[in-house]
Amino acid sequence: MNLLPLFIAVPLGTAFVIVLLGKMREIYSDILATIAALVLAILPFILILTLDKGETLVYSMGKWLPPQGINLVLDGLSRLMLIIINVVGFLAIVYSVSYMKKFTAKSKYYGLFMLMLTGMNGVVLTGDFFNLFVFAEIAAISSYALVAFGVEAEELEASFKYMVMGSIATTLILFSIGILYGLTGSLNMADVGRTIQGNGGTLLSLSMVLFLTGFGIKAAMIPFHAWLPDAHPSAPAPVSAMLSGVLIKALGAYALMRIFFNVFGLNLQLSWVFMILGLVSIFGGGLLALRQDDLKRLLAYSSISQMGFIILGLGCGNYWGILGALFHLLNHSSFKSLLFLNSGAVEYSAGTRKLDKMGGLSKVMPVTGATSTIASLSISGIPPFNGFWSKLFIIIGLVQANHFVLAVLAILASVLTLAYYLRMQRNTFFGKLKKELEKIKEAPLSMCFSMIVLAIACVGLGIFFYPVMKIVLEPAVEVLQKGIKYSSLILGG
């Protein structure tokens, strides 16, 4: 029961201790960061093993009971997000032990990274609106600083664009929290959900629109996506993996799910809005990715496209749609992080990111080539990798809800995904080896370790999807489907 505050306290304490110790010797910060990330990665599995399936824990800070106090809520959806955040975070830190040797201020990097983990863990654990806002801001501000970490001209410009749009999103979210407080007089999510049931009104719709815009900017849906293709390529590779694989999901998709399913309640208009936004994101991201020349920019547009799949599945609203969306969230973290780590390895060894300058790299970098092929096949939806199952579930959900046109469009979008990933693979890893690239070596050991673990996760989630579905995903789907009854669960018990 007392494990829940550790998710927030451990990375927060580690961040400040690393900044203090790192002034002395740099090796201390490496060891401390890795140990802390390992502890954080093991904790969600302990929680899964010791609790029953689907049990909800409510932890009140300082013994102040809700609705006056701030409480931490752990239900099925939070468990899924905690696994994703902490495991990907651990692998990214192991990767950065060798990747960040080129940069100078390594202890500050680890401090900022730990602060980002604190923020994301706090967002998925909290049950209070203002707490959500504060932790989202902690994660966002650390990510602004991390994007501009290597201070080249392009990275500064990308970080400035990201900061301006992120600040607009922050302001909109705060405005909407203010409106909700004025309407209901409380900030607790369960209390607000119980009070606004059944009432309509223009102020409530204004609040919903402002939340959708604010978290839509953070989740990079089209038309709010303009910061993502600049920010994700410019960051160092492990930061890109965390940003694209975890941050847009924890701050964007998770917050949308929690607010719109558990507090406001899903009705017909909202589900159509989600589906249209999802569909536009899929095709916008996919078509723009076809023309890209830079490896990481292509991956960034592909992130927009896959987030569209998740939102499309969420908007569907029935069991298979939500199951497919949550499974796609889990899968996308694994293969998109793997792809970004691969691109970082390519950049570390070959020194370039342009697609027409590379070729035939799988002869000199076998581990990178193999894992990249696994990731590309997974994201395009080839059986038996995990992407196939999640896209299949989303399409089954759409067909069950009688949206046949949308189902056909989703299948077309999968074919589009396969097209640009095949192009990327052919240009990077297969084909003839260019002369100037003949002397490069494979990536160092810690980078290979992270990539191999993620590749095993991709294959394993695809083959063993049935036990994963039963243990981890079904409680999460139940939480979302219960919808507004979430409030009686928190306040009654």
Partner 1 sequence: MIFFLSFILFLVGLYCVLIKKNLLKIVMGIVIMEYSVSLFLILLGYKKGGFPPIVTAGVEGTNFVDPLPQALVITAIVISIATLALIISLCMRIYQKYKTFDITKIRKLKG
Partner 2 sequence: MKENKGMTLIVKTVIKFLAPIVILFGIYMILHGHLTPGGGFPGGVVIASAFVLLTLAYGKEVAEKKMKRSLASLLESTGALFFLILAVLGIFVGGWFFSNFLPKGEPLKLLSAGFIPLANIAIGLKVGGGIFAVFLALVIFRVAGEGGKEQK
> What residues line the site for partner 2 (CB under 8 A)?
2, 5, 9, 12-13, 16-17, 19-20, 23, 59-63
In this complex, which beta carbon is closest to partner 1, that of residue 296 or of residue 403? Answer: 296
Helix locations, 351-365, DSSP H: none
Residue 452 binding result from partner 1, partner 2, none, given CB thresholds of 5 to 8 Å by partner type: none
| Residue 20 binds partner 1 (CB under 8 A) | no
Task: State the binding partner of 60 from partner 1, partner 2, none, CB within 5 to 8 A by kind.
Answer: partner 2
Report the sign of the C-alpha dihedral through residues 366, 367, 370, 376, in that order. Answer: negative
Residue of the chain from 28, 45, 103, 175 that contacts partner 1 (CB under 8 A): 175
Pairwise CA distance, residues 390 & 410, whole Å: 12
The pair of structure tokens assigned to 409 is 């469009």
- Please identify which residue in 14, 86, 170, 244 interacts with partner 1, judged by CB under 8 A: 170
Q: What is the 3-state secondary structure (H, E, C) of 159-206?
A: HHHHHHHHHHHHHHHHHHHHHHHHHHCCCEHHHHHHHCCCCCCHHHHH
Smallest gap from residue 139 Cβ to partner 1 (A): 12
* Shortest separation between residue 283's beta carbon and partner 2, angstroms: 44
Positive or negative torsion for Cα 363, 365, 367, 372: negative
Question: Which CB, 3 or 174, lies closer to partner 1?
Answer: 174
- Looking at the Cβ atoms of 28 and 181, the one nearer to partner 1 is 181
Say how far apart CA 476 and CA 472 lie, in whole Å: 7
Minimum distance from residue 102 beta carbon to partner 2 (Å): 21
Q: Of the two residues 90 and 301, which places its CB atom closer to partner 1 in the complex?
A: 301
Q: Which is nearer to partner 2, 12 or 424 (CB)?
A: 12
Distance between CA atoms of 6 and 42, rounded to whole angstroms? 12
Interaction between residue 103 and partner 1 (CB under 8 A): no
Show the tokens assigned to 43: 């904790």
User: In whole angstroms, what is the distance from residue 471 CA to residue 464 CA?
Assistant: 12
Residue 325 CB partners (closer than 8 Å, separation 6+): 309, 310, 311, 312, 313, 314, 316, 394
Name the minimum Å distance from CB 301 to partner 1.
Answer: 10
Q: Which is nearer to partner 1, 30 or 230 (CB)?
A: 230
Residues at the contact surface with partner 1, assessed by CB under 8 A:
130, 134, 137, 141, 144-145, 148, 151-154, 156-160, 163-164, 167-168, 170-171, 174-175, 178, 181-182, 187, 229-230, 234, 291-294, 297
